[in-house]
Structure 1
Amino acid sequence: MLFWSQGATLVMPFASLELMAVGLAFVVYARHATDGERISLQEGQLVVEWESAGKLERAEFQRDWVRVEPRAGDGSLIELSGRGRTIQVGRFIRPELRPLLAREIRLALRAA
């Protein structure tokens, strides 16, 4: 109010606009703060659950029918496919670690 009384009438509207922009940024961040993927073996099935912006999705593959791609270390997303369904995983890890994740999934599928 001090600035308003001294003639700077646009300070308060712009300060309010800035606070609304910061509030909106927090809302957008909060929507994606819990995003992630979970990959597990349960009762002979490879179960993949991923959450994005509060929406939870789940895919299940028979352990014996899952194909894990790519085999090369190019850092692309890992493609899991089986029985007509294909999904991609590995969005939340660094590209150079994706081949390691693919190898761990393959080893877990063989060992189970």
Structure 2
Amino acid sequence: MQRDIEKREWLLRRNCSLTPRQTVTAYAALCALSLGVALVFLLQGVWQVLVFTAIELAAVTTAFILYARHASDYEHIVLTAGCLLVERVSAGRASQTVLEPYFTRVAKPDSPRSLVLLEAKGTSLEVGVYAPDAQRRRLAQELQDALLDQKR
């Protein structure tokens, strides 16, 4: 007789130090400061500083755009009776992988940079990108325990 299993969920998110509003404020302050310095030099006839400021601001803009695109990345793992769903969102693109819990094997990370490996019927998937080593190990153990509970 199979036990009823409640829904188990794990949510792994990036650790972002700035909120979207703080990011925009920091970007605006950096641009204003750089352009202010460039303007002072431009008024003194040193126009070359403005060129380097434009290059600097292009690089900073690129970095902030990349940061903003990946700030909301996450992995969401849901285990229910008969279904292990792994949803990933990276740079606004979502992907879902469905595994059968009864056939899923969990491989714990074997080094600090290793991820948790899920394998079932020829499909393998690494999870835990946004978690530190200790949390990945705990995730692997919890997943393994939950899968074993479901098989009983």
Partner of 2:31: none
Q: Do the aligned partners of 1:73 and 1:99 also contact (CA within 8 Å) in 2?
A: no
Deviations 1:40-94 (A, max 9, x none): 1134211111122222111111111111113x75342111011110001111111
Give the structure with the higher percent strand.
1
**Tell me, what secondary structure is at the counterpart of 1:28?**
helix
Deviations 1:16-35 (A, max 9, x none): 22222211111111121111
Partner of 1:25: 63
- The reply to whether residue 41 of structure 1 matches residue 110 of structure 2 is no
Structure 1 residues not aligned, in runs of 5+: none
- The reply to whether residue 103 of structure 1 matches residue 141 of structure 2 is yes
Letter in 2 for 1:63: P
- The reply to whether residue 54 of structure 1 matches residue 92 of structure 2 is yes
Give the structure with the higher percent helix.
2
**Tell me, what secondary structure is at the counterpart of 1:68?**
strand
Structure 2 residues not aligned, in runs of 5+: 1-38
**Tell me, what secondary structure is at the counterpart of 1:93?**
coil
Q: Taking every aligned residue pair, what percent have the same amino acid on both sides?
A: 37
Question: What is the TM-score normalised by the length of structure 1?
Answer: 0.85
Q: C-alpha root-mean-square deviation of aligned residues, in Å?
A: 1.8
| Structure 1 residue 97, shift from structure 2 partner | 2.6
Q: Larger relative CO (CA 8 A, sep 6+): 1 or 2?
A: 2
Q: Do the aligned partners of 1:73 and 1:96 also contact (CA within 8 Å) in 2?
A: no
Partner of 1:68: 106
Letter in 2 for 1:98: R
Aligned pair count reads 111
Q: Distance in 2 between matches of 1:41 and 1:7?
A: 66
Letter in 2 for 1:107: D
